[in-house]
């Protein structure tokens, strides 16, 4: 906690809330379009962030840079193609963060080219703040694709494993969260990188930064 900075937290807070809200809305909306209204009936198909915030996951994002929101509940029995649709629902969340991150970079580039600011300091501050939101959403995209429960990436194989080996599914899902916590805490406290999350975020951010020609 020694690196915790209230000013830095306030900078990322709007992007964190926006990213988590869009992420969970995408899950709920995709489930609804694929035939399951469970999340909609629970009030999760909304852009109200209060409905989506998980306190522990939110806390981890603020102190470690990675975390999660309250999981959207679905009923696979309502889906037309259970295994395929579960994967689509899972992937919808991370993809929404990728799209949002790109949109924020495009917005920053648009503002970069407009002469609407009273000073260069104001211009740079606002643009950097928007870019920070984009980078954070790229982080949510990458982090949630990690194939460790309860993250979305795990559902790509767990939906099939549940059908083939229920006992193994329960074991992985039960202990996956502990493994995830351990990795996050270990990487946050040491210089050893187990998951190449930061490198991938850097790569994607630079890719769109170069494409949009911030010069």
Structure tokens at 162: 């549940």
Mean of pLDDT values over 198-215: 89
Query: How far is the C-alpha of 82 from the C-alpha of 151, rounded, in Å?
Result: 19
94 in a domain, yes or no?
A: yes
81 in a domain, yes or no?
A: yes
Q: Produce one character per residue of 180-209: b if its CB has 16 or more CB atoms within 10 Å, e if not.
A: beebbeebeeeeeeebebeebbeebbeebb
Q: How many CB atoms lie within 10 A of CB 93?
A: 28
Q: What is the pLDDT of residue 64?
A: 64
- Comparing 9-13, 95-99, 201-205, which segment has the lowest mean pLDDT? 9-13
Max avg pLDDT among 55-59, 114-118, 127-131: 127-131
User: Domain span at residue 52?
Assistant: 6-211
Query: How far is the C-alpha of 37 from the C-alpha of 84, rounded, in Å?
Result: 17
14 in a domain, yes or no?
A: yes
71 in a domain, yes or no?
A: yes
pLDDT score of 198 more than 90: no
Structure tokens at 26: 């995408």
Between residues 190 and 101, which one has the greater pLDDT? 101
180 in a domain, yes or no?
A: yes
For residue 139, which of 73, 203, 189, 84 has the smallest C-alpha distance?
Answer: 203
192 in a domain, yes or no?
A: yes
61 in a domain, yes or no?
A: yes
What's the number of domains the chain is made of?
1
Q: What is the pLDDT of residue 66?
A: 61
Query: How far is the C-alpha of 18 from the C-alpha of 30, rounded, in Å?
Result: 18
Q: What is the pLDDT of residue 101?
A: 97
Catalytic residue annotation: 24
Which long-range contacts does 171-180 make (Cβ < 8 Å, 24+ apart)? 173/149, 176/148, 176/149, 176/150, 177/149, 177/150, 179/148, 180/146, 180/148, 180/149, 180/150, 180/151
1 in a domain, yes or no?
A: no
pLDDT score of 80 more than 70: yes
Mean of pLDDT values over 30-55: 95
Mean of pLDDT values over 143-162: 82
């Amino acid at each position: 906690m020694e690196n915790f900075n209230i000013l830095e937290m306030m900078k990322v807070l709007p992007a964190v809330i926006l990213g988590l809200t869009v992420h969970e809305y995408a899950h709920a909306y995709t489930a609804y379009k694929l035939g399951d209204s469970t999340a909609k009936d629970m009030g999760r198909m909304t852009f109200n962030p209060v409905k989506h915030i998980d306190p522990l996951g939110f806390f981890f994002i603020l102190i470690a840079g990675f975390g999660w929101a309250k999981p959207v509940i679905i009923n696979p029995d309502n889906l037309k193609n259970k295994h395929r649709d579960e994967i689509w629902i899972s992937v919808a969340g991370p993809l929404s963060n990728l799209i949002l991150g790109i949109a924020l970079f495009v917005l920053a580039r648009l503002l970069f080219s407009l002469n609407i600011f009273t000073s260069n300091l104001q211009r740079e501050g606002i643009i950097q703040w928007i870019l920070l939101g984009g980078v954070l959403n790229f982080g949510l995209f990458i982090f949630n694709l990690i194939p460790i429960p309860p993250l979305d990436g795990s559902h790509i194989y767990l939906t099939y494993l549940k059908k083939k080996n229920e006992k193994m599914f329960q074991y992985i899902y039960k202990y996956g969260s502990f493994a995830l916590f351990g990795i996050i805490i270990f990487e946050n406290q040491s210089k050893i990188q187990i998951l190449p999350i930061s490198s991938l975020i850097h790569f994607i951010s630079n890719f769109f930064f170069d494409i949009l020609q911030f010069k």
